[in-house]
Amino acid sequence: MQIEQIYTGCLSQGAYYIESQGEAAIIDPLRETAPYIHRAEKDGAKIKYIFETHFHADFVSGHIDLASKTGATIIYGPTAQPDFKAYIAKDNEEFIVGDLRIIVLHTPGHTMESICLLLKNADGKDIGLFSGDTLFIGDVGRPDLAQKINSDLTQEKLAGHLYESLHHKIMPLADDIIVYPAHGSGSACGKNMSAERTDTLGHQKAVNYALQPISKETFIKEVTTGLMPPPAYFPLNVMMNIHGYESIDNVLKNGLQSLTADAFEEAANATGAIILDTRDPEVFAQAFIPNAINIGLNGSFAPWVGTLVPDITQPILFICDAGREAEVVIRLARVGYDHTIGFLEGGFNSWKIAGKETDNIPVINATALAEEIKTNKEAVIMDVRRSSEHMSEHLMDAINIPLDYINDHLSEINKNTTYFVHCVGGYRSMIFSSILRSRGYTNLVNVTGGFKGIKESGLFTISNYVSPNTML
């Protein structure tokens, strides 16, 4: 018997590989199928089942492609109605993988079709719970996503279902069962997940706020309080997971078109494609193609694209470091951005060699910023961290416009004012600055090292009360 968590940090997502006696099951696979196929081949195993714990919102699952390539059966829980061939399991239905048994537990709440999967070993002992988005380590799945698809399902109704699922299906299970959730810290599918990726159910009963002996009414209030709006791409990913999508092989073929500088420029002009520059922020700032948006590949690349590019069908051209082209296309496809149409052959250097126009974003470090503030009384510091981060601690008089909500607050930014933009370390602030630069805001200066560098310099007054200039 083998149980392997295949974790993807960019999405804070855990898929699972279970193998016994030459048979394998995959739980919640990502879009690219090769890792699961190769893992089974390594064991000489045949993938028999693909379990989907629910219709995912934060990524496009690889269930359809994986089933097509392996002949495995896709399995959903009760009430699921996918538009492709799948087996809809009954509550408590049993599936055999080698000498293991997997029991489907219908646990509505995060979504109505949500399931957990109880794993029994050859002796019939309960050993693992693959809890999907129903139960996380330190948290539970947010109950407000399904209402984006079905307006009759309020978050309060879903939270009530979640309470019943936890208390009647999960809490009675043995304390020594290992919980294997679909997400960890950093995912937008919950509020406050732990950095731990697995735990015993017994420990979760002791420390997880949602598993305490509280009333249903108190639970509903606790679970629904403090929920931030989900990224705009979530409902679109749900629809792709329900209705189907183009094969990842075709997406890769279309996206991996190598374009010379001239061809790249022509494609941008002809298609109206967004230009994504995936290089590190410090490199991007020095020189980039005018109107390009910087979302670095070495960060939470796909979720930020999903948050900030509202049209999932938008054609995308991209620039990246050599050898990372397929990675860009795959990571975009994971969140449903299937319309990449090519990349700049030879990277940004080829653009410079061709003598084409470039742009740059000024940068400043914490020491120079301190001097600037002393001499320039008109200087405005813009904090683009989330409002909770800003409220925790921030520079005196800094204004707060979280990157997540940039599109809602453009009218509040004066094109004639110089803003010194910072986040924690420089990743989000460069995204913010590049977006505004592409829209004609030329007076933005990026603070290298971000708030971390500002604090470490010891040159600034740090406040931990809510700034009156906080916009969100």
For residue 186, the model assigns a pLDDT of: 87
For 370, phi then psi, to 5°, come to -60, -40
DSSP, residue by residue, 240-277: HHHH----HHHHHHHHT-EE-HHHHHHHHHHH--EEEE
Tens of pLDDT, residue by residue, the chain (472 residues): 999 999 999 899 999 999 999 999 999 999 999 999 999 999 999 999 999 999 999 999 999 999 999 999 999 999 999 999 999 999 999 999 999 999 999 999 999 999 999 999 999 999 999 999 999 999 999 999 887 666 678 999 999 999 999 999 999 999 999 999 999 998 989 888 999 999 999 999 999 999 999 999 999 999 999 888 888 899 999 999 999 999 999 999 999 999 999 999 999 999 999 999 999 999 999 999 999 999 999 999 999 999 999 899 999 999 999 999 999 999 999 999 999 999 999 999 999 999 999 999 999 999 999 999 888 888 899 999 999 899 999 998 899 999 999 988 888 899 999 999 999 999 999 999 999 999 999 999 999 999 999 999 988 888 876 554 554 4
Partners of 276 in the beta sheet? 293, 318
In one letter, which amino acid is 111?
T
Distances (CA, A) of 105 to 54, 130, 146: 12, 10, 19
- Beta strand ranges found along 190-244 (DSSP E): 199-200
For residue 472, the model assigns a pLDDT of: 42
For residue 471, the model assigns a pLDDT of: 46
Could you tell me the domains of the chain?
2-237 (3.60.15.10), 246-353 (3.40.250.10), 363-463 (3.40.250.10)
**128 within 8 A of 180, measured Cβ to Cβ:** yes
Task: Indicate the helix (H) or strand (E) that contains 131.
Answer: strand 126-132
pTM of the predicted protein model: 0.92
For residue 228, the model assigns a pLDDT of: 84
Q: Helices 155-165 & 216-224, crossing angle to 10 degrees?
A: 120
Q: How far is CA 306 from the centre of its chain?
A: 8
User: Which of 170, 191, 157 has the alpha carbon at shortest distance from 386?
Assistant: 191
For residue 469, the model assigns a pLDDT of: 52
For residue 324, the model assigns a pLDDT of: 97
Q: What secondary structure letter does DSSP report for 209?
A: G
**383 within 8 A of 394, measured Cβ to Cβ:** yes
Distances (CA, A) of 247 to 237, 251, 331: 15, 7, 14
